[in-house]
Structure 1
Amino acid sequence: MASPSSTPRIVELAAQISSSVTELQERLSAQGIPSPSFAEDSPPDFPADLESLRDSVIDATAELNELLLDPLQLLYRFAAIPNMVGIDAISRYNIAGMVPHGGQISFAEISERTGMDKGLVRRLMRHAMSMRIFREPEPEMVAHTKISKYLSIPYINAWASFEGRDTWPAATRVMDAVEKWPGSEEPNQTAFSLANNTDKPVFEFIGAYPERMMRFGAGMKAVDHVPGHAPELISKDYDWASLGNASIVNVGGGRGQIAIELAQNFENVKLTVQDAAMMVEGAESDVPNQLKGRVEFMKHELFDTQTLEADAYFFRMVFRNWCDKYAIQILKAQIPALRPGAKILIQDACMPEHDSVPLWRERVQRSVDLMLKCYTNGRTRYLDEWKALLAAADERFKLHQVFLPENSLLSILEIHWVQV
């Protein structure tokens, strides 16, 4: 028996792609057919005798591409109709959690544990397998791939479940909402509003449903896997040491995860986390003993007038959830507490111009942008839109510089409060 090849799979794929593409181009040239391109006059179809060769190239390039992407980005790609049918089923019944790591489970056992008939299980599982979610090592047996194993992580499963049960139905109503409320900037006039027949903003609405709120809360941890979003990266994303002995107000800072991270890495800063009462209640218990007194919490609604004077006010992924009308209100609410030289630090996405970043990154950001429209009528702003927003709030907000960490989808805008 021949021993298994020791050549790495990606090297095999590269060689296969190179060889197959060379052969494909030679045969196209021999038949006088132009090479494939995105040009308008490029032939839309391949000759029938080249279909098999073309298929092998497509499969190999797709596999190579998918091997080099991380699981979450693959899931983003696959989370589309009708692919979401299978992903919804997998997350709703936690099928990934049923498959033992390093082992396998039968269609029949999945059927028994979920209550779905075996025929439907087979349809759903084999559809998922076509997206490389699970594999079938032997007939009617299910084993993990790296993607399905990733889905067995509880908070990743919660994210996928929220996408399937809450985001997906709402996403189908985006244009309905646009037609019903042309140009609306209101957070309760959205696709989510239509899908759920509610006049309440999304977070107020799901807050009344514990199961949905738990699904959302758990799933939000999946965002940490998006490039540049992990909390532990915040200390490297900006020159916090340049602030010196600084007091920082983390507006909308939730349970203080980011504030704790900063306090652990910069001994000269003191942080006050502001958020709604339900968010900050009991949050002090999460603060390590050595940081007590340097990370504190304060009940404060986002649109309330700022009462704390500080050296800097930090907003992390806050403004994306609000249209300009409300984003301006948030900025204006800080003015009464601002002293000359105070800084506003906004960590959020800055939408790239087309073809200015790697395409897969651009696709992610544009997808997130549409979901913000779906949920809150928020959006991802271009740099010129950020500048216009600041000017509309007050001419004393001056954009000093923009930090874009390498391999991150988030920027940090440093804004100075300047007396004019």
Structure 2
Amino acid sequence: MLKKNVTNCLLILWIALLGADRIDLAGKNLFFNFTPFIFLSLLISPLLFYYYKNIEFRINLSEKKILIFFSALLLSIIPSVLLSNDFLLSLKRFILLNFEFFSIFIIVSYIFTLHEVKKILTVGAILGIIFHSSFSLYEELRWFAGSLNSTNAFIDLNIVPFAGYAPRLTGLSMDPNRACLIFISLLFLIFLYQKEGNLKFALSFILVTLIYLSLSKSGILILIISIFYYLVIKSNRNETKKIVMILFLPAIFSLAILIFVNEINFGGFISERISVVKGSSAAVHYSLGEIASKTIVKSTSNFFIGNGFQASQNLLEAYFPNNKYANFHTLYLSLIAESGIFSLILMLIFLAFPVIRKSSIRPLLAAVIVFNIFYQSILDPVFWFICVLGYILIPADGK
């Protein structure tokens, strides 16, 4: 009993801290960010094999299609690792990709063998909301104190400002766009597994508010897409009213915070968000797309094999100087430019399959597909968590 309780507590903590990349448990003493996700995955996965040797993974009911699709994707990426312009970097990130996917696959599959599956997912989501909202409140308070940057070996306390207008609330994620993916994944766990009532509404209100106050265009876009898709497949008038309130009340609340609390210049704020002048977010995305397109058509080898898996930083020095995480800010162009056309085709099949087969979280999966037009989350554990969950939640008649 103790063994089971300890395992369940670790699983809850794993869900809550899945996207917490602000935290480095190694205190910056390693060559990579030793996040809670990595630590807990290394701890939980071996425990499951040691203590629970006869686990029947829920994924078997989907004929292991996710493993087939992912294995095909890996095979298409391998040549771009072997022939990469930076072999060691591509190899490290290829290993990370495998670690993220297979640890998430093992852990999520195990969770769905448990009678307490709903409790674990719900409590994990609630704990995650507490962690992210508490840190976001801390960000807001430090903004008022004028303390934007702070050094700590174990947690990045730097605030992401929005053009001097306001703090971009990101929770325990360092990136506002990525934070939105975390918040929306938690939102759908609450939608699916939290009982109806005031608590469900309050948790949803907090998450939607955090998405608005991240000031992320792509984050707000995928929130709206996923919510309206959810409403279409639900077709329940009472639930529709609640969801509409969850979408619009936080918008009014967030607007009030921006205008009255942060004293934001709303005209300047809107102007910056929609600007396409040189140096703006939209202009940078367009320029990155141009570079990716030129890389793709540069040679037959680039088109079929790519420039090197996750090794485009040498092409993007002008935009991201000395940044080893530089990328094209779009998963789809990045895949062709870095790993060739077949990787893109296989990724699209991988993402589309659970949507076509009517997964219970297909609105969230659709949001992920759209999100990656403007972002690249192939090495984001939250991305793979959503994908694995999407396959597991394919209904029996959806095969």
Task: Tell me the TM-score normalized by structure 2.
Answer: 0.25
Q: Which has the higher contact order (CA 8 A, sep 6+)?
A: 2
Write 1 or 2 for the structure with the bigger share of strand. Answer: 1
Q: Which has the larger radius of gyration?
A: 1
More helix by share: 2
